[in-house]
Amino acid sequence: MDVFDKCRHMHPAKALIDVGFNAFYRVMQSPPDAEVIADGRRMIMLGSNNYLGLASDPRVKAAALAAVEAYGTGTTGSRLLNGTLELHADLERRIARFLRKDDAIFYTSGYLANCGAIAGLAHRGDCVVLDRQAHASIVDGARLSYADVKRFRHNDVRDLERVLASCGESGKLVVVDGIYSMEGTLAPLPRIVQACRTHGARLIVDDAHGLGVLGRDGRGTAEHFGVEDGVDVIVGTASKALPAVGGFVAGRREVIEFLRYTGANRAFYFAASPPAAAVAAVREALAIVQERPALRTRLWTVTRRVQHALLAMGYDTMGSQTPIVPIRVGSLERTFELWRALSDEGIFVNVAIPPAVPAGGCLVRMTLTAGHTDAHVERVLDVLERVGKRIGLIPGGGDVVAEEVVALRASA
């Protein structure tokens, strides 16, 4: 058998993509602001994670430009050897201080931060326990650890306790998302913290979507629930509210020092260091998060308005509690139909299809930002109401999937 034989069997969505329903790899010609130029068209952006609108903030851009002038375009090495600039060390101190942890370590991406933290801290003979909807980077980090990996039902703390009890006397590491990126729901952290204490487990929270968004001061999901002291390690990213590239792990000093010097942290040791421009941008954005709480207030004003309106229209938003607002659609065909109808109206949204979601659970995923104006919101809600009625997703319109979609897929 040729190892390339599998390449001839594509995802079912590829047939739709080939006939014009191309929701992926869209070419952007502008920053990820509230309005963008995508594939040559101006659109309202509901598909980025630029929660506080800082990707084009003048201060952030100026910091990045100044860093290029001072340090060049790259470090040409890993953090361990020649790739640690004073910018990296300073940002780590600032992240730790902001999150009220002893220390922090900054990685080249959020994905690598999860892989490095989990594989660095859990080894053969330990037990890593994950939510069934854990982010792919969490799952991959657990696999790299060589520990025994177990899963519990999504946000089901009683099931988590059952799984923890089954780990026996092994070292136990629980890893959860603070905000689940597909459905926009929160992990029940107070009960998870208590379960970890009861069973002698350590807790990592991947707060990629919570940092800058949740909590009075923007420290994320743990601050939102008042359980910061109960979370041992916080993992975050610099690609969402902090708009650049990179990731971090923050925790007790001995834990972070162990990650700095353990060979099991291969995602840190063997990755090229984040460039100075990205690090400087993140540092400036972190300062703005702390200085301008009005951005977070605006984000939640927009979020609540859209959530309430969609529920009133009859959309299934899957219980979202955050600026991530999904619309459950169901079938692949109808999901792509909704995506294209919104795209034709100048609304940029994302689709989530298997394996990112269960079969039959396809959805359109929107993310809201502080940069969305009242006019943007009115336009989006008007389009969603008209389109939803037309294709039968909400009351007041048809109830049959467009024959065009099924016919095109069949002929592809």
Q: Please list the pLDDT of the chain residue by residue as tens digits (412 residues).
A: 899 998 888 777 777 777 777 888 899 999 999 999 999 999 999 999 999 999 999 999 999 999 999 999 999 999 999 999 999 999 999 999 999 999 999 999 999 999 999 999 999 999 999 999 999 999 999 999 999 999 999 999 999 999 999 999 999 999 999 999 999 999 999 999 999 999 999 999 999 999 999 999 999 999 999 999 999 999 999 999 999 999 999 999 999 999 999 988 999 999 999 999 999 999 999 999 999 999 999 999 999 999 999 999 999 999 999 999 999 999 988 999 999 999 999 999 999 988 888 889 999 999 999 999 999 999 999 999 999 999 999 998 654 444 444 444 444 3
What are the CA-CA distances from residue 317 to residues 24, 297, 325 (Å)?
A: 22, 22, 6
Among candidate residues 88, 209, 224, 372, the one labeled active-site is 209
Active-site residue, 240 included: yes
Give yes or no: 209 in active site: yes
Helix, strand, coil fractions of the chain, as percent rounded to 5: 45, 20, 40
Same fold, 7-51+293-411 and 58-291: no
Write down the domain spans for the chain: 7-51+293-411, 58-291
In the set 48, 109, 137, 181, the catalytic residue is: 181
Token output for 67: 């860093």
Q: Would residue 150 be called left, alpha or beta, if left means φ above 0 and alpha means ψ between -120 and 50 degrees? A: beta
Active site residue 109: no
pTM of the full structure: 0.93
Distance CA 125, CA 308 (A): 48
CATH 3.40.640.10 assigned to domain 58-291? The reply is yes
C-alpha span between 68 and 224 (Å, rounded): 36
CATH class of the region 7-51+293-411: alpha beta
Q: State the alpha helices, DSSP H only, in 314-401.
A: 332-344, 374-390
Residue 263 to residues 80, 124, 317, 322: CA-CA distances in angstroms?
11, 14, 43, 37
The catalytically annotated residue of 240, 320, 343, 376 is 240
Is residue 45 within 8 Å of 35, Cβ to Cβ? yes
